[in-house]
Each structure stands twice: as structure tokens, then as C-alpha cells.
């Protein structure tokens, strides 16, 4: 029967919207089986090196096992019957390896191989994520550098609050990803560990040479050697998945900001233009924020999958029942979503259209009200902080009621007019004069970016 696409990751229509071809390859059946065989070969090599199995058998396994063509239909039936693919995999490999096949999977258990295979796949996934993350960070650094001093309205509770710069906003976005890049780097030694423990994690089947075998096994795979078996201690895998979900969340915040700033009434930034991108089937004028919507959706989906990974940490005794199975869905899904989000973010940010004139227009739309805090702080030394607040508050209400400039409302209040001259009040009412240390903070983030 021909396979039927039933999820967004399989769909010809959606799979490259929500993820990437490269990450799908990492978590394909082919990649998983290849990683399982790689683990079996590494185990044989380690055991041949330590004298647990004949060296000749190990050499034969290493030479021939990777090239064996598996009967996928039989493996499918075995997996459905046993619940896991390793029994069927080992049977097929052993039959093709002749006498040397007797020594395949020596002293190991199914989860040893499957966990190690998962780690090998995760290593490839993390490498892809790190590469994509670097590209997105570079785009954000360019935006922060270019717009370091581009003033715009900062908004709280969806209302204009105080002036900021677009470079400051971009640098905040960048800082989130910088921290996640650090988290990934720190998590790798804890997550990318070889798994070998035997039935209950004691390596009893390998006798006194168990630890030597595990050390050689880890070396053969280029993985960290664990201090102790981790098959029911899943924190390492969870840490990488949570970090990936954090990346999706950070990108979701970026997408949410861009969506709001693309609103007709704001119109300060726009996703890259291409004919009919974001078009409506019925409203020709529409230009919807497509990449941003995917970023927000992926953030929500990755959160749920990451939650499942956390739940899967609660495993029973020395071998998990259902919790382990939850990882099979959650771990690939978060990696797929992270790759998709990074790809969408790269596309969007590399061609982001920044309308500086619209930013200025919106910044001036309240005719000075956005810098009421600046006026209050400027008056505070003369009037005291509380009186200054009350006077400016009253002036703001007058300005809003009479639809006039804040400066005019300020000058009508005797306490204010006598405290500061008109030119000083006018300077305080200029949004570009109240950007604080936004530029200096952008510089700090950009300086840190050099290290990534």
C-alpha cells in the first residue's frame, strides 16, 4: 500500500512550510535504521577491542553490516509484533553475517541500541539547528546594526509607551537566540551520551569488562561516555528538546511582533514581498504575515511536544513502559518544528522591509504624549517627583481632550511654565531625545555576537 501523508510533516503541501527537508531526513526511517546499525557495529567493534567477542567477528560485522539491505516489510511486521524494531533488525543482520552474526548485539538490550540511535540522530539535528541559528542571528545582527538609531514607538499593553529604536528591538530578539545558542552548546555533553547498560543498566552480561566496553563504544561513536546508565534518567535529551522549544518560543515572539507591526494601522515593518505571497482569495489588497504566523504556530506546537518530553521523564523503575514511547513522537517533532521556524525566520528577516517614515509618523502621532515621562523627569528636580507627575498628568489629559500638542498644554500650566523655559520643554517633548541607553545596549549585544 502506498504511504498516505497524514501530518504536516509528511504532507507535500505543508511539510516545507512547517519544517525542512534536511531535518526530515535526520528523522526518517532510513536514518533511524542506519543509526541503529551504526550502534550495533560500534558495540561489536568495542567488544572486539576489549576481547569480549572475537576480533575477527567484530571486523566482519563492521565491514559488512552497514551494507546489508534490510527487508523493510518483514521489519515492519516484526516491529508491529514485538513493539520495537531491534529484534527484527538483529535477526536480519545476524542471518546475513554468517558465523560472525552470533556475536551481534552481545550483552545489549533493545533500548541500548534505540537510545544510542536517537542520540546519533539528535547530534545531526543539533548540528542543523546550530547552523540555522547562526544564520538567523546574523540577520538580526544586521538589522540591529543598521537600525541602531532608528527611533520608533515602544509599546506596552499595545499602547504607545516610550520611544525606543528598531535596532534595540532587533537586539533584544537577537539576545534571546544568543542565550539559546549558549544553552545548546552547554547541553550537548549532557545529552549526546552513548547508552549501554544491558537489561537493568548494570552491564552484568559483560562481567568485569562492562565499563571498558562502554568506554570503547562511546569512543567509536564519538559520543560522551556516561558515568552511569541513563536509560531511565532522560534529563539530557529533555534539556536539548526544551532548548529547541525555547528557540521556537523566541522566534514566535519575533513573529508576533512583526505581525502586530504589519497591521494596517501601524505599518512599520513588512515581511518580504513576492507576488501573491500572503494574498487573500477574496480581498486583493491583503498582504498577510505568512512566515510570522508559522513562527507563532510552531512555538505553540513545540511547547506541547516539549511538555510531553517533560512528562516522559517520570519513568517506572529500571525500564519504562509507555513514557519512553512518548519521546518517539515528541523529540523529532520539536526538532522538525525548530528547523522550520529557523528557516521561516531566516527568510523573513533577510528581506524584512522597515518603513522608517511610518515609524516617525507613528512616533509623532500623539504630538508629544509618548514622552510624558521625559517631561516629568525633567521637571522633577524643580517641582519634586510627585508634583511633576501630577502636573504632567493633567497636561496630558488636557492635550488628549483638546487634541493639541503636549507642549502647548504644558505651557498653559503655571507651575510647569515657571519651572522650565519653553526651549527646554520643547526638547523634552522630542521623542528622539529620550532613547536612554538603547544604542549602548545594542552595541553590547553586537559585541557578544562576534563570539558566536
| Residues belonging to the active site | 157, 280
Q: Cα–chain-centroid distance for residue 324?
A: 23
Q: Which of 421, 44, 368, 362 is nearest to 196 (CA)?
A: 44
Task: Cell numbers for 48, please give them.
Answer: 572486539
The three three-digit cell numbers of residue 354, written as one number: 522597515
Which DSSP string do the residues of 290-355 spell out, in sequence order? HHHHHHHHHHHHHHHHHHHHHHTT---TTS-SHHHHHHHHHHHHHHHHHHHHHHHHHHHHHT-EE-
Mutual orientation of helices 29-49 and 210-221 as an angle, nearest 10°?
Answer: 130
Query: CA-to-CA distance for 233 and 313, rounded, in angstroms?
Result: 7
Distance between alpha carbon 352 and the CA centroid of its chain, in Å?
20
Q: Which residues of 404-418 are buried (b: 16+ CB within 10 A; e: fewer)?
A: ebbbebbbeeeebee
Dihedral pair phi/psi, residue 14, rounded to 5°: -110, -15
Using the structure block, give the residue that is written with the C-alpha cell 511536544. 305
Amino acid at each position: 500500500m502506498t504511504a498516505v501523508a497524514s501530518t504536516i510533516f509528511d504532507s507535500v503541501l505543508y511539510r516545507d512550510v512547517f519544517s525542512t527537508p534536511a531535518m526530515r531526513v535526520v528523522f526518517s526511517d532510513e536514518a533511524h535504521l542506519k543509526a541503529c546499525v551504526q550502534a550495533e557495529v560500534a558495540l561489536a567493534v568495542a567488544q572486539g577491542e576489549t576481547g569480549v567477542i572475537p576480533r575477527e567477528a567484530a571486523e566482519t560485522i563492521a565491514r559488512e553490516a552497514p551494507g546489508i539491505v534490510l527487508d523493510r516489510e518483514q521489519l515492519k511486521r516484526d516491529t508491529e509484533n514485538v513493539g520495537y524494531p531491534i529484534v527484527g533488525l538483529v535477526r536480519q543482520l545476524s542471518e546475513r553475517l554468517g558465523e560472525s552474526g552470533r556475536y551481534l548485539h552481545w550483552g545489549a538490550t533493545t533500548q541500548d541500541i534505540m537510545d544510542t540511535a536517537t542520540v546519533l540522530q539528535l547530534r545531526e539535528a543539533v548540528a542543523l539547528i546550530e547552523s540555522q541559528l547562526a544564520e538567523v542571528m546574523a540577520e538580526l545582527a544586521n538589522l540591529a546594526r543598521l537600525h541602531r538609531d532608528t527611533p520608533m514607538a515602544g509599546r506596552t499593553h499595545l499602547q504607545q509607551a516610550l520611544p525606543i529604536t528598531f535596532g534595540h528591538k532587533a537586539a533584544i530578539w537577537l539576545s534571546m537566540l544568543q542565550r539559546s545558542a549558549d544553552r545548546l552548546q552547554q547541553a550537548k555533553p549532557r545529552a549526546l551520551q552513548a547508552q549501554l547498560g544491558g537489561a537493568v543498566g548494570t552491564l552484568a552480561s559483560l562481567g568485569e569488562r562492562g565499563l571498558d566496553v562502554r568506554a570503547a563504544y562511546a569512543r567509536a561513536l564519538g559520543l560522551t561516555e556516561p558515568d552511569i546508565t541513563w536509560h531511565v534518567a532522560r534529563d539530557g535529551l529533555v534539556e536539548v528538546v526544551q532548548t529547541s522549544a525555547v528557540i521556537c518560543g523566541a522566534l514566535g515572539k519575533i513573529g508576533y511582533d512583526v505581525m502586530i507591526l504589519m497591521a494596517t494601522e501601524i505599518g512599520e515593518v513588512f515581511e518580504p514581498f513576492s507576488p501573491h505571497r500572503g494574498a487573500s482569495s477574496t480581498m486583493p489588497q491583503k498582504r498577510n504575515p505568512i512566515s510570522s504566523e508559522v513562527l507563532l504556530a510552531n512555538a505553540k506546537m513545540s511547547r506541547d511536544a516539549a511538555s510531553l518530553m517533560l512528562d516522559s521523564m517520570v519513568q517506572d523503575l529500571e525500564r519504562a513502559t509507555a513514557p519512553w514511547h512518548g519521546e518517539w513522537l515528541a523529540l523529532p517533532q520539536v526538532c522538525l518544528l525548530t528547523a522550520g521556524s529557523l528557516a521561516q525566520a531566516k527568510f523573513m528577516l533577510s528581506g524584512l522591509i522597515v518603513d522608517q517614515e511610518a515609524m516617525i509618523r507613528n512616533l509623532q502621532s500623539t504630538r508629544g504624549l509618548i514622552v510624558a515621562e521625559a517631561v516629568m523627569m525633567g521637571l522633577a528636580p524643580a517641582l519634586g517627583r510627585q508634583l511633576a507627575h501630577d502636573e504632567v498628568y493633567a497636561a496630558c489629559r488636557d492635550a488628549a481632550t483638546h487634541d493639541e500638542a503636549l507642549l502647548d498644554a504644558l505651557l498653559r500650566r503655571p507651575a510647569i511654565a515657571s519651572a522650565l523655559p519653553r526651549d527646554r520643554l520643547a526638547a523634552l517633548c522630542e521623542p528622539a531625545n529620550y532613547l536612554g541607553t538603547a544604542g549602548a545596549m545594542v552595541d553590547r549585544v553586537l559585541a557578544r555576537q562576534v563570539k558566536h
